[in-house]
């Protein structure tokens, strides 16, 4: 899809989001013959968790999204793997500094 919009690999891999947000705006504005939006989301390769995919939802997708259950990250089944893979350190809150996480 990047080639369709004239983007190169450097623009896609950039930490700046100027080019990818431009693509998102273009996709958001695409309409069918009746003037109805063609897309309510964009699915793309995750830059930070490759080869997983990420999804960007447009506001018009809100009626199609259902949160079935909200759980704390440490209770998520993939949390231990995520912590190990990304070497995340979890520090308990400091009781002497209640204003900090």
Q: Return the pLDDT at 95.
A: 81
Q: What is the pLDDT of residue 9?
A: 79
pLDDT in tens, 27-48: 999 999 999 999 999 888 887 7
**Helix (H), strand (E), coil (C) string for the chain:** CCCCCCCCHHHHHCCCCHHHHHHHHHHHHCECCCCCECCCEEEEECCCCCCCEEEEECHHHHHHCCCCCCCCHHHCCCHHHHHHHCCCCCCCCCCCCCCCC
Q: pLDDT at position 34, please?
A: 97
């Amino acid at each position: 899809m990047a080639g369709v919009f004239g983007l190169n690999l450097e623009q896609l891999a950039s930490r700046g989001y100027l080019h990818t947000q431009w693509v998102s705006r273009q996709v958001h504005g695409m309409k069918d013959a009746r003037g109805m939006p063609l897309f309510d989301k964009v699915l793309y390769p995750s830059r930070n968790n490759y080869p997983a995919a990420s999804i960007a939802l447009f506001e018009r997708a809100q009626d199609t999204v259902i949160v079935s259950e909200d759980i704390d990250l440490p209770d998520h089944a993939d949390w231990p793997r995520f912590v190990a893979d990304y070497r995340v350190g979890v520090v308990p809150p400091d009781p002497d500094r209640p204003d900090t996480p």
